[in-house]
């Protein structure tokens, strides 16, 4: 424990925040044990100062008076530089506390409202007496936790495993902790990650493609040719041979520095080389940072079909360096943007609002997209259900790619596919809004000359439909995207035909 404590010690105060019932006290105690520090709970210190339990003070003096006393105590604790501080759930509503948190390492334990309610039900907490008010308060505070958090964990049990990563994070970076049956790992979004050391076993061997090598990975050990046409077994075999030549053992790890092609290929080689070596994903395209690098799907293409051979192999970490997006060609940026819009529709909430406002894809947007993917794959690692929502827009997109013999590339095809999915969802105003966003990003919103009948037929074949209805991912509203929805053949055809008409 001592060695772990020394290793995990942080240069800033670790501040734990989250809603009532999220598990903050458990997390504070767990991390204090490892750091061999005194667990400081702001509410406990407050009760001492108030000379009475918080519920009694609340009843006697009201929330306003409580918040004033809370501010004094929290600012004092933060100022003192205590190693571990747990905050009361409402502390983030205070702007002075939020400002003070910027200088510390703030961890948000993000647990859903139903779990929180179940845990506090029957407790003496004054704010846990009325469920509707509880839910409303939860919704009001979420964006505030989001604003102050440097790291987001899905539960108190992740805090100890996350400590080494919290320590390794460069200043200004943010982390989401991914938890799947196949492994738990940090997804870090920030600057300076592409060549920073990261705590991982053994020696690091970097795999990249020829283009990315010139820009971001001059010291790479294994170089593959760039492009989807090289995401093949043949290239995988070249990588395996290089790993043998470099004497890579199971005690070492690979670093995949590049776009989704390098990530999928390297992940696949890592899953299979000596029956599995660890891999750190360092995505350098927008598409890979918001989507491909997260979730552990790896693989290569066969001549017959894309991604036909592969394995689930969760990474040790995903390190997204925002600086790498600066060298991305406009067409690759646009391709990633189509996935950003898809992800924002799935997430709803503040991510959707940001994207819908037409603002730039900045650190907040990339991080929020990464968190959404983390949440979806955490709930469903192996495509059994929820993960299928990630296929929003992709059903028609794949058919367009196939029918056009890949003359229409993936990003533009997803743009068109999203518009078809929104029409099929009956969300006409939302479709117009998304069309304008995609168009402004340089993505196509119509495809004159499209063979609509062939695209619709290919879509139905692709979905292995059993009857007349084709199962689809549809948008009921931003934040309410459902898979397995039935779509009639005539409606499908009409939605694709519409893409062929000029605006």
Ligand X SMILES: NC(=O)c1ccc[n+]([C@@H]2O[C@H](COP(=O)([O-])OP(=O)(O)OC[C@H]3O[C@@H](n4cnc5c(N)ncnc54)[C@H](O)[C@@H]3O)[C@@H](O)[C@H]2O)c1
What's the min distance (Å) between Cβ of 331 and ligand X? 9
What's the min distance (Å) between Cβ of 262 and ligand X? 6
Which residue, 190 or 259, has its beta carbon nearer to ligand X?
259
Burial group, residue 297, by CB count within 10 angstroms (0-12, 13-18, 19+): buried
**For residues 147-166, which are near ligand X according to CB under 6 A?**
none
Q: What would the two tokens of residue 366 be?
A: 């990339």
- Count residues binding ligand X (CB under 6 A): 29
Choice from 30, 77, 162, 262 touching ligand X (CB under 6 A)? 262
Which residue, 344 or 452, has its beta carbon nearer to ligand X?
344
Give the C-alpha separation, 194 to 419, whole Å: 35
Q: Under the criterion CB under 6 A, does residue 332 sit at the interface with ligand X?
A: yes
Q: Under the criterion CB under 6 A, does residue 297 sit at the interface with ligand X?
A: yes
Q: Under the criterion CB under 6 A, does residue 292 sit at the interface with ligand X?
A: yes
Q: Under the criterion CB under 6 A, does residue 463 sit at the interface with ligand X?
A: no
Give the C-alpha separation, 301 to 329, whole Å: 24
Backbone phi, psi, residue 445, to 5°: -120, -5
Which residue, 154 or 258, has its beta carbon nearer to ligand X?
258
Q: Under the criterion CB under 6 A, does residue 427 sit at the interface with ligand X?
A: no
Q: Under the criterion CB under 6 A, does residue 258 sit at the interface with ligand X?
A: yes
What's the min distance (Å) between Cβ of 293 and ligand X? 7
What's the min distance (Å) between Cβ of 295 and ligand X? 5
Please say whether the beta carbons of 78 and 15 come within 8 A.
yes
Beta strands, E only, 73-203: 84-86, 105-109, 151-153, 174-180, 183-190
Candidates 253, 208, 205, 254; CA nearest to 230 is 208
Q: Under the criterion CB under 6 A, does residue 378 sit at the interface with ligand X?
A: no
Q: Under the criterion CB under 6 A, does residue 397 sit at the interface with ligand X?
A: no
Q: Under the criterion CB under 6 A, does residue 328 sit at the interface with ligand X?
A: yes
Which residue, 146 or 209, has its beta carbon nearer to ligand X?
209
Give the C-alpha separation, 295 to 370, whole Å: 10
> Going edge to edge, which strands form the sheet with 14-18?
40-41, 84-86, 14-18, 105-109, 151-153, 174-180, 183-190, 317-321, 279-283, 253-258, 204-209, 222-224
What's the min distance (Å) between Cβ of 373 and ligand X? 8
Q: How far is CA 349 from CA 329, 379, 393, 447, 463, in A?
A: 30, 19, 20, 31, 30
Sequence-ordered list of residues with C-beta below 8 angstroms from that of 475, at least 6 positions apart, any chain: 345, 392, 421, 422, 425, 427, 430, 481
What's the min distance (Å) between Cβ of 462 and ligand X? 15
Q: Under the criterion CB under 6 A, does residue 363 sit at the interface with ligand X?
A: no
Which residue, 122 or 234, has its beta carbon nearer to ligand X?
234
Give the C-alpha separation, 478 to 95, whole Å: 29
Give the DSSP H or E segment for 17: strand 14-18
Q: How far is CA 50 from CA 12, 69, 293, 388, in A?
A: 28, 8, 49, 51
Q: Under the criterion CB under 6 A, does residue 417 sit at the interface with ligand X?
A: no
Q: Which stretch binds ligand X (CB under 6 A): 66-74, 113-121, 145-153, 254-262?
A: 254-262
Q: Which stretch binds ligand X (CB under 6 A): 140-148, 184-192, 324-332, 480-488?
A: 324-332
Q: Under the criterion CB under 6 A, does residue 225 sit at the interface with ligand X?
A: no
Give the C-alpha separation, 325 to 302, whole Å: 29
Choice from 215, 311, 379, 494 touching ligand X (CB under 6 A)? 215
Which residue, 278 or 295, has its beta carbon nearer to ligand X?
295
Q: Which stretch binds ligand X (CB under 6 A): 222-230, 381-389, 416-424, 441-449?
A: 222-230
Within 10 angstroms of residue 306's Cβ, the number of other Cβ atoms is 16
Which residue, 13 or 208, has its beta carbon nearer to ligand X?
208
Q: Under the criterion CB under 6 A, does residue 211 sit at the interface with ligand X?
A: yes
Sequence-ordered list of residues with C-beta below 8 angstroms from that of 420, at least 6 positions apart, any chain: 393, 396, 492, 495, 496, 498, 499
* DSSP state at residue 290: I
Q: Under the criterion CB under 6 A, does residue 401 sit at the interface with ligand X?
A: no
What's the min distance (Å) between Cβ of 48 and ligand X? 50
Q: Under the criterion CB under 6 A, does residue 208 sit at the interface with ligand X?
A: no
Q: Under the criterion CB under 6 A, does residue 226 sit at the interface with ligand X?
A: yes
Which residue, 172 or 227, has its beta carbon nearer to ligand X?
227
Candidates 42, 39, 30; CA nearest to 77 is 42
Residue numbers at the binding site for ligand X (CB under 6 A): 209, 211-212, 215, 226-228, 231, 258-262, 264, 284-285, 287-288, 291-292, 295, 297, 306-307, 324, 327-328, 332, 335
């Amino acid at each position: 424990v001592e060695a772990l404590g020394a290793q995990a010690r942080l240069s800033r105060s670790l501040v734990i925040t989250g809603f009532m019932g999220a598990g903050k006290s458990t997390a504070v105690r767990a991390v204090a044990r490892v750091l061999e520090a005194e667990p400081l709970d702001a509410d406990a210190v407050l009760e001492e100062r108030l000379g009475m339990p918080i519920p009694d003070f609340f009843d006697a003096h009201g929330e306003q008076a409580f918040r004033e006393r809370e501010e004094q105590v929290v600012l004092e604790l933060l100022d003192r530089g205590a190693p571990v501080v747990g905050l009361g759930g409402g502390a983030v509503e205070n702007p002075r506390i939020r400002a003070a948190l910027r200088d510390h390492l703030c961890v948000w334990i993000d647990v859903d409202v139903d779990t929180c309610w179940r845990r506090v039900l029957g407790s003496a907490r004054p704010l846990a007496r009325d469920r509707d008010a509880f839910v409303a308060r939860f919704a009001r505070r979420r964006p505030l936790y989001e604003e102050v958090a440097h790291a987001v964990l899905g539960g108190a049990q992740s805090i100890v495993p996350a400590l080494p990563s919290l320590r390794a994070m460069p200043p200004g970076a943010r982390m989401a902790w991914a938890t799947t049956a196949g492994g738990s790992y940090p997804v870090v979004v920030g600057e300076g990650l592409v060549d920073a050391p990261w705590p991982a076993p053994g020696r690091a061997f970097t795999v990249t493609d020829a283009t990315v090598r010139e820009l971001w990975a001059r010291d790479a050990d294994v170089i593959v040719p760039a492009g989807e046409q090289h995401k093949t077994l043949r290239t995988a075999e070249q990588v395996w041979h290089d790993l043998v030549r470099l004497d890579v053992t199971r005690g070492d790890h690979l670093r995949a520095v590049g776009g989704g092609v390098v990530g999928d290929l390297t992940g696949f080689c890592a899953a299979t080389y000596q029956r599995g070596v660890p891999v750190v994903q360092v995505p350098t395209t927008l598409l890979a940072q918001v989507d491909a690098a997260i979730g552990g799907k790896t693989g290569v293409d066969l001549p017959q079909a894309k991604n036909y051979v592969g394995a689930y192999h969760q990474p040790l970490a995903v390190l997204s360096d925002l600086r790498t997006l600066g060298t991305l060609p406009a067409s690759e940026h646009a391709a990633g943007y189509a996935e950003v819009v898809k992800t924002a529709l799935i997430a709803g909430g503040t991510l959707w609002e940001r994207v819908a406002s037409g603002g730039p894809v900045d650190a907040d947007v990339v991080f929020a997209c990464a968190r959404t993917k983390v949440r979806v794959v955490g709930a469903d690692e192996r495509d059994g259900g929820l993960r299928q929502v990630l296929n929003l827009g992709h059903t028609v997109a794949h058919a367009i790619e196939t029918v056009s013999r890949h003359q229409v590339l993936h990003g533009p095809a997803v743009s068109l596919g999203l518009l078809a999915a929104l029409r099929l969802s009956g969300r006409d105003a939302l479709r117009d809004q998304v069309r304008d966003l995609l168009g402004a990003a340089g993505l196509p919103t119509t495809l004159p000359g499209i063979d609509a009948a062939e695209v619709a037929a290919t879509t139905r074949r692709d979905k292995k439909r059993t009857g007349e209805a084709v199962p689809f991912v549809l948008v009921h509203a931003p934040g309410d995207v459902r898979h397995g929805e039935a779509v009639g053949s005539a409606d499908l055809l009409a939605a694709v035909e519409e893409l062929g008409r000029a605006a």
